[in-house]
Structure 1
Amino acid sequence: MDDLRARLLAALARDTGPSSDFDLNAPARPPAMGLRGAGVLVPVCVRTGSVILTKRSSQLSQHPGQIAFPGGKIDPGDRDATDAALREAEEEIGLPRDAVEIIGALPPHETVTGFAMHPVLGFITRPFEPRPEPGEVAEIFHVPFDHVTDPARFSVQSRRWRGQQRLYYTVPYGPYYIWGATARILRGLAQRVSA
């Protein structure tokens, strides 16, 4: 745990700047718009040396079936993005707030859907019983930390979205196609860890 903590604290001290879904698609960037705040937790399970991710329900209107961090928009009752990330992680995967040690934050990430996502890095300090929120989370799974922090595992792919060809990062793991904002945030973390 001490080695992983030291690696992550060193990584958090490196400045890579904010990221965006438009990093690879600059011409597609719309005019400046008001972004809604969101907090997502990057939960690192020290015991298993993994990051916990979710597969969103295919019934959701936003990003159905995609791989995501636990998290969501900042509600009026939330103190900040960290509070929102912890609240959402408890709701979405059953992770108690008191089982998470926040060690820092990654730069904000702007999404094509109009959110300023604030990724918060946290250690899971004790075992918990994962519990997917019905209707929102289809699956909870672990990805090895070394997999998602190895820059060589990332690639750029493309697809048509809203009539335009768009480029995006991917970091597949087994049956899980990790792409878009989740992969871009993980790629930023990988850059910091490997620097």
Structure 2
Amino acid sequence: MQSPDLSLDDFISRFQLLRPQTRLGTQNQRQAAVLIPVVRRAKPGLLLTQRSPLLRKHAGQVAFPGGAVDSTDASLIAAALREAQEEVAIPPETVEILGVLPPVDSVTGFQVTPVVGIIPPDLHYHASVDEVAAVFEMPLAEALRLGRYHPLDIHRRGNSHRVWLSWYQHYFVWGMTAGIIRELALQIGETP
């Protein structure tokens, strides 16, 4: 369980010292990346978006800024930074990249790489009206509290998989986003 007074230095140290467990190959081939923006504060925050209700896929869901890798992107990190700039106006040069988590498969056929970065506290977010309905910050210590995530086993097309569910204020955090946050919590958590 994470301390309610998790400092940014503690988070950075744990993230950099504890290597993520690698997963055996993912099934999806199309590449995407999301930025996990940690806000630099005495008590750091986790920046999240709520997708526009008008989108074809994942409408209204809570998500990290991110999307498919373009042919112009030099890397997965570049893709995550480009998407964060397009979706919420985070200037790429203001992001201090800490590293990446192992990729996860999305239900839409993408292999998604989560990129962890620190952003300044005084950025003015300008949500893309076409993609983002809201931008909000959740205390990092609260986001990384494992007890807030509840499992739901889903059976689809003969396969079973687990998704994670959580609430923060009036936002329902679930699916890949909740799974990524939970994975980050497991990585920086207490060692057994």
TM-score (norm. length: structure 2): 0.86
Question: What does 1:102-121 correspond to in 2, within 5 Å?
Answer: 102-121=97-116
Tell me how far apart the structure 1 counterparts of residues 48 and 23 of structure 2 sit (CA, whole Å).
21
> Residues 19 and 157 (structure 1 numbering): CA distance in 2 closer, same or farther, change over 3 Å?
farther
Deviation at 1:34, TM superposition (A): 4.8
CA–CA separation in structure 1 for the residues paired with 2:144 and 2:21: 15
1:14 aligns with 2:19: yes
For the residue of structure 2 that corresponds to 1:40, the secondary structure is strand
Q: How many residues align?
A: 182
Whether 1:145 aligns to 2:140 is yes
Question: In the alignment, residue 194 of structure 1 is paired with which amino acid?
Answer: G
- SS state at 2:167 partner: coil
Asked if 1 retains the 8 angstrom alpha-carbon contact of 2:16 and 2:98, the reply is yes
* 1:38 paired residue among 32, 39, 50: 32
* Cα 1:65–1:19 shift into 2, 3 Å: farther
Amino acid at match of 1:125: P
Residue aligned with 2:98, SS: strand
- Aligned residue among 158, 181, 184 for 1:186: 181
- Cα distance in structure 1, aligned partners of 2:44 and 2:52: 26
Is the contact made by 1:19 and 1:185 (CA closer than 8 Å) also made in structure 2? no
Query: What is the aligned-residue identity percentage?
Result: 37
Quote the RMSD (CA, aligned, Å).
2.3
Gaps (5+ residues) in structure 2? 1-7
* TM-score normalised by the chain length of structure 1: 0.84
Structure 1 residues 181 and 63, CA, compared in 2 at 3 Å: closer, same or farther?
same
Q: Is the 2:61–2:173 Cα contact (8 Å) retained in structure 1?
A: yes
Q: Distance in 2 between matches of 1:133 and 1:19?
A: 35
Which moves more between the two structures, 53-62 or 143-152? 143-152
Q: Which amino acid aligns with 1:3?
A: D
Alignment partner of 1:172: what SS? strand
Shift of 1:168: 1.3
The whole-number CA distance in structure 2 between the counterparts of 1:191 and 1:158 is 19
Whether the aligned pair in 1 keeps the contact of 2:82 and 2:92 (CA below 8 Å) is yes
Residue 130 of structure 1: how far off its partner (Å): 0.5
Q: How does 1:164-183 map to 2 (within 5 A)?
A: 167-183=162-178
1:58 corresponds to which residue?
53
Answer whether contact 1:44 1:51 (CA < 8 A) is retained. yes
Q: Any idea what SS the aligned residue of 1:178 has? A: strand
Whether contact under 8 Å (1:19, 1:108) holds in the other structure is: no
1:157-182 CA-partner distances (Å, limit 9, x unpaired): 35686798864101321111100000
Q: Specify every segment of 5 or more residues in structure 1 that has no aligned partner in the other structure, as ranges.
A: 21-31
**What letter matches 2:36 in structure 1?**
V
Give the deviation of 1:33 after TM superposition. Answer: 5.7
